[in-house]
Structure 1
Amino acid sequence: MATSTSSGDGSEIFVLPSIGSGHLFPSIELCHLISSPNCTTTTLLLLPSNLLPSLPPSFRHRTAALSSLPASPHHHQDPARDQFASDLETHISTRRPLCAVVDFKVGWTKHIFWKFRVPVVSFFTFGASAAAMEWGAWKSDAHSMNPGEARPIAGLPPEMRLNYLDVQSRRGGPKPGYQPPWVPMIEGSVGLMFNTCDDLERPFLDYLSDQIGLPVWAVGPLLPELCWTSRPGSLILERQIRPPKRESNYTDDELIQWLDSKPRGSVLYVSFGTETCPTPDEYPELAGALEDSTHPFIWVIQHGPGGEESYFPHGLASKVGDRGLIIRGWAPQLLILSHPAAGGFLSHGGWNSTAEAAVLGVPVLAWPVRGDQIFNAKLVVKHLQIGAMALREGSVEVARKDIAEGIERLMCDREVHRRAKAVRARFGSGFPASSAAALDAFREFIHQNA
């Protein structure tokens, strides 16, 4: 990997991502935005070597520079940490950046930047509502709630009040006294940066700024440039901007041909991302619900880390015929969501998926599994009102009948579809103006306080 050799000129900003595409891709887009042609600030993406295979080919043709570090440690006690830290120190000492934007998951590196008096901005690749709800739950000791109890958080919209299941997730929630793991990671930061925008999460951004007492910049959603520059109704061909992570049993052309054959707004897209999925007992319930439904669907089933098949609904394809399309492996999510036939997205509620659905105007059927997904689902269903829950409210059991009813409710709710289109219209002029202004405010703050 070629490494940029130019020295910092006092206006360079380092961006340090964490592992995983959900952290890398927003960091790449952030680099491009900070280094936009109409400003003097430049960026250097400090890319751990284990993220190099995920780097889009288009990266080098835009505005940010790249330097490679050793493989990123998965946690702060990883034996690889010492070498990673040593190389990071070398980069800082030879280039002396204006500041560092550090993914909070690798917040332990802030001490290395501080050695050289480089201020650190903590970067959240997930949304402000999840961070605000986690902070509010912690401060109100909501993890001691009893079943059936509901608790509002002062300063946040009333519809976002906490219930017992919000803080005790289906797969085991944290105990009373729990502190969000990102809190110690951001201590000492000069500001917080979020992968979101005013149009989606203004109340939560204000709450975090008031509570934590730091500047908060909403600079997203940090989606590929094509999401903002493509004409309304045009397809976003993802392979042009992101390399596929795995092979797939369908080509883009085959997917487009299938989608073209379906009525506008009729297809339910089902995907749980790459890091979470239903349990072995829940998969058959989902398969049965898709069989019972009358709506066309695309179901993406990811292979396991070693390429093995953890689950496949054998027999479902023959039962549903051309109504269903089952993808094994990688799926071009932006292409599918941008197609006029897309009418709903059954999602785990990861932030990137949530933002993509909102920007493209596709209602969400939320099936959160853990972490921020629980509060992302609450944002979509309760606050933005552009979705519904896949499971019966108050239930922890996944049942075929409940999922089927959720699908029918989402796909047939005209008001939810209208609101989803209204949210999409907020982005009709491209990248949010409020986020562009936040980037300007961030640059001004850094130049004045570095």
Structure 2
Amino acid sequence: MAEPNKKLHIAMFPWLAFGHIIPFLELSKLIAQKGHRISFISTPRNIERLPKIPPQVAPLITLVKLPLPHVENLPENAEATMDVPYHIIPYLKKAHDGLEQPLSHFLETSTPDWIVHDFAPHWLPPIASKLGISRAFFSIFNASTLCFLGPTKSSVIEAHEPRSEPNHFVVPPKWVPFHTKVAFRYFEAKQIFDLFEENDSGNSDWFRYMKVLSGIDAIAVKTCVEVEGEWVKLLGELHDTPVIPVGLLPPSKQESLGNKDSNWDTIVEWLNKQEKASVVYIALGSEIQPSQNNFNELAFGLEQSGLPFFWALRKRKGVDSVQLPEAFEERTKDRGVVWTGWAPQFRILGHESVGGFLTHCGWSSVTEAFQFGRALILLPFLGDQGLIARFLEEKQAGVEVPRNEQDGSFTRDSITETLKLVMQDERGKIYRDKAKEMTTIFGDRDIHSRYVDKFVEFLENKIG
């Protein structure tokens, strides 16, 4: 047991993707609010790109810059997944492995009580263990996704046949004891084998994840039992490790509204002219690169829907960007905006003219949308996004765009029909109502604050 009121020193070490870094930072700020010291560790350029830390917790958060080692094939100044095309990410993982020595040195000299880390540093648990530092894996993925990925508890593994072909992944795993539709589609299942194969970093993602999980004291998950109760319970059984939901870490409204942003002035001027709940907001995250054909169908489907839209179209660095159909912007300029700069998503979703969100189903984006009860049009592309889409459909909290099972392609008509169903049709009222209902959980800051309290209590009471 920690001494009463002992202030802890907690090191936070996220993977080099802003979809991971930002939830780690949100959790850091909430822990610092309880008076504990945080060392937030990343690379110099990522630290420089962080949002400003609020003054009330800034004295307790030290930003630790570990220079990223140079690795062949990794462009200069590339320090996050958003800086490189998808096929270069393994080299970023290789560079990240080069942080082992500097991180070890930091841990030796600053002796934190805990290190809260991500899936990538497979080498970290034994180092921290040797130094007597407690270890928690913090998953930005939700509990149902982690359960689908599989167990580490040997008795559960031995009781089930290994999944060795795509067809094994298109049905719920045998170790899930309750009814669910959470599984991959065939075109997603084919991609999932990338996880298990050694990549250019020298290790598979699965190897990293399993190594990390084999050497921890706890699993912290960005979820809550009100949303994923049975999955949270199952996760603990599959790993034989304490699982602590930390809540959904909603971004602070005060912070989002307090940041002066010239982009926002232009965006809000347009949003203010639109009718209430009429606009569909489209954002596929910073890592999605649809094929040109899929991109065209999305654009044409949006155009033929006739709906007002705001499309946050992030260009990926070092990628031959897909192009909008010829004269698309000209034809839609009276009712739509294609925005290629940085878009303040949380503020856009919070605007009353926005009625729906066409999303890639990243868990953080879903969390933001349900703060405001925005109905979801689901268009997953990568990794866990397909599993989140099924999870949301199961709850009738969104509708997935119909796709070709073999290659994941979709048509402009399927985009148009799904948009109209969710945004306008009487048949889609159930989804709009369900999304509004979700605000009672996702938008209740007191619920999520209590989860962080419980997590901090766990950290205080379990040292070494």
User: Structure 1 vs Structure 2: percent identity of aligned residues?
Assistant: 23
1:286 aligns with 2:298: yes
Give distance in 2, aligned partners of 1:317 and 1:167. Answer: 31
1:127 aligned residue (139, 142, 154) = 142
The equivalent of 1:98 in structure 2 is 113
Give distance in 2, aligned partners of 1:90 and 1:295. Answer: 55
Give distance in 2, aligned partners of 1:45 and 1:81. Answer: 18
In the alignment, structure 1 segments of 5+ residues that lack a partner are: 1-8, 231-235, 245-249
Q: How does 1:149-168 map to 2 (within 5 A)?
A: 150-151=171-172, 153-155=174-176, 157-162=178-183, 164-165=185-186, 168=189
1:377 CA displacement: 0.9
Secondary structure, aligned partner of 1:355: helix
1:61 CA displacement: 5.0
2:130 aligned residue (102, 115, 123) = 115
Give distance in 1, aligned partners of 2:143 and 2:127. Answer: 27
TM-score by length of 1: 0.83
Give distance in 2, aligned partners of 1:77 and 1:298. Answer: 34
Deviation string for 1:264-295 (max 9, x for gaps)? Answer: 11111111110113111211111110111021
Question: In 2 relative to 1, CA 290–121 (structure 1 residues): closer, same or farther, beyond 3 Å?
Answer: same
The equivalent of 2:66 in structure 1 is 70
2:454 aligned residue (432, 436, 440) = 440
1:206 aligns with 2:242: no
Give distance in 2, aligned partners of 1:176 and 1:93. Answer: 32
Give distance in 1, aligned partners of 2:362 and 2:443. Answer: 23
1:361 CA displacement: 1.2
Question: In 2 relative to 1, CA 260–164 (structure 1 residues): closer, same or farther, beyond 3 Å?
Answer: closer
The one-letter amino acid of 1:186's match is L
CA contact (8 A) 1:296 1:324 kept: yes
1:42 aligns with 2:37: yes
The one-letter amino acid of 1:276's match is I
Deviation string for 1:379-404 (max 9, x for gaps)? Answer: 1111x321001224746332111111
1:264 aligned residue (272, 276, 283) = 276
Higher mean C-alpha deviation, range 436-445 or range 259-268: 436-445
Question: In 2 relative to 1, CA 305–208 (structure 1 residues): closer, same or farther, beyond 3 Å?
Answer: same
CA RMSD between the two structures: 3.1
CA contact (8 A) 1:153 1:161 kept: no
1:107 CA displacement: 4.0
CA contact (8 A) 2:166 2:186 kept: no
Give distance in 2, aligned partners of 1:33 and 1:330. Answer: 26
CA contact (8 A) 1:345 1:357 kept: yes
Q: How does 1:215-364 map to 2 (within 5 A)?
A: 215-226=242-253, 236-237=256-257, 239-240=259-260, 251-306=263-318, 309-364=321-376
Higher mean C-alpha deviation, range 282-291 or range 403-412: 403-412
1:151 CA displacement: 4.5
Question: In 2 relative to 1, CA 89–440 (structure 1 residues): closer, same or farther, beyond 3 Å?
Answer: same
The equivalent of 1:233 in structure 2 is none
The equivalent of 1:387 in structure 2 is 398
1:367 CA displacement: 0.9
Question: In 2 relative to 1, CA 167–53 (structure 1 residues): closer, same or farther, beyond 3 Å?
Answer: same
Higher mean C-alpha deviation, range 19-28 or range 145-154: 145-154
The one-letter amino acid of 1:193's match is A
1:48 CA displacement: 2.1
2:18 aligned residue (13, 18, 21) = 21
Question: In 2 relative to 1, CA 283–90 (structure 1 residues): closer, same or farther, beyond 3 Å?
Answer: same
CA contact (8 A) 1:50 1:72 kept: no
1:212 CA displacement: 0.7
The one-letter amino acid of 1:265's match is A
TM-score by length of 2: 0.81
The number of residues matched between the two structures is 420
Question: In 2 relative to 1, CA 238–308 (structure 1 residues): closer, same or farther, beyond 3 Å?
Answer: farther
Q: How does 1:51-90 map to 2 (within 5 A)?
A: 51-59=46-54, 61-63=56-58, 64-72=60-68, 78=94, 81-82=97-98, 84-90=99-105
The one-letter amino acid of 1:388's match is V
CA contact (8 A) 1:301 1:312 kept: no
1:55 CA displacement: 1.5
The one-letter amino acid of 1:398's match is F
1:60 CA displacement: 5.6
The equivalent of 2:87 in structure 1 is none
Give distance in 2, aligned partners of 1:157 and 1:311. Answer: 44
CA contact (8 A) 2:370 2:442 kept: no
CA contact (8 A) 2:145 2:387 kept: yes
The one-letter amino acid of 2:94's match is D
Question: In 2 relative to 1, CA 290–363 (structure 1 residues): closer, same or farther, beyond 3 Å?
Answer: same
1:436 CA displacement: 2.2
Secondary structure, aligned partner of 2:136: strand
1:374 CA displacement: 1.0
1:374 aligns with 2:386: yes
Give distance in 2, aligned partners of 1:220 and 1:149. Answer: 29
Give distance in 1, aligned partners of 2:305 and 2:232. Answer: 39
The one-letter amino acid of 2:41's match is L
1:213 CA displacement: 0.9
Question: In 2 relative to 1, CA 163–70 (structure 1 residues): closer, same or farther, beyond 3 Å?
Answer: closer
The one-letter amino acid of 1:124's match is S
1:220 CA displacement: 2.8
Give distance in 1, aligned partners of 2:169 and 2:27. Answer: 41
